Structure 1
Amino acid sequence: MTEQAPTTAERIRSACARGGGAMLAVEGLEPSATPVHHLLADGSFAITVPANGLLNGMVVASGGHGVQAVLEMTDYAPLPLREPVRSLVWIRGRLHHVASNEVSDLLDLVATESPNPALLQVNTGEAEAARGDTPYALVRLEIESVVVADSTGAEAVPVSTLLDARPDPFCALESCWLQHLESAHREVVDRLANRLPSPLRQGRVRPLGLDRYGVQLRVENEDGDHDVRLPFTKPVDDITGLSQAIRVLMGCPFLNGLRARRI
Structure 2
Amino acid sequence: MASTVGPAPTTPERIRSACARAGAALVAVEGGGPVAAPVRHLLADGSFAIALPVDCAGRADGSASGSQALLELTDYAPLPLREPVRSLVWVRGRLQRVPADDVTDTLDLIAAEHPNPALLQVETPRSAPSHGDPRYALFRLEIASVVVTDATGAEPVGVADLLAARPDPFCEVEAGLLWHLDTAHNDVVARLVSRLPPPLRRGQVRPLGLDRYGMRFRVEGKDGDHDVRLPFHKPVDDMTGLSQAIRLLMGCPFLNGLRARR
The TM-score, its normalising length taken from structure 1, stands at 0.92
Q: In 2, distance between residues paired with 1:176 and 1:198?
A: 28
What corresponds to 1:213 in structure 2?
A: 213
Report the number of matched residues. 254
Structure 1 Cα separation of the partners of residues 14 and 159 of structure 2: 14
Aligned AA for 1:82?
R
Q: Would the alpha carbon gap of residues 214 and 34 (structure 1) be closer, same or farther in structure 2, given more than 3 Å must change?
A: same
Cα separation, 2, equivalents of 1:72 and 1:17: 13
Measure, in 2, the Cα distance between the counterparts of 1:104 and 1:202. 54
Distance (Å, rounded) in 1 between the aligned partners of 2:246 and 2:32: 47
User: Superposition pairs for residues 9-158 of structure 1, below 5 Å?
Assistant: 9-53=12-56, 56-63=57-64, 65-123=65-123, 124=127, 135-158=135-158
8 Å contact from structure 1 (residues 128, 135) kept in 2: no
Distance in 2, Cα, partners of 1:50 & 1:67: 15
CA positional deviation for 1:169: 0.5
List structure 1 segments (4+ residues) > 6 angstroms apart after TM superposition: none
Residue of structure 1 equivalent to 2:3? none
> Structure 1: which 5+ residue stretches go unaligned?
none
Structure 1 counterpart of 2:142, one-letter code:
E
- The unaligned stretches of length 5 or more in structure 2 are 1-5
Q: CA deviation at 1:19?
A: 4.2
Secondary structure of the residue aligned to 1:78 is coil
| 1:148-167 C-alpha deviation (Å, 9 max, x unpaired) | 00011100000000000000
CA distance in 2, matches of 1:94, 1:20: 23
Q: What SS is found at the alignment partner of 1:208?
A: strand
User: Shift of the alpha carbon at 1:26?
Assistant: 2.0
For residue 122 of structure 1, what is the amino acid of its counterpart? V
SS at match of 1:62: coil
SS of equivalent residue, structure 2 residue 196 = coil
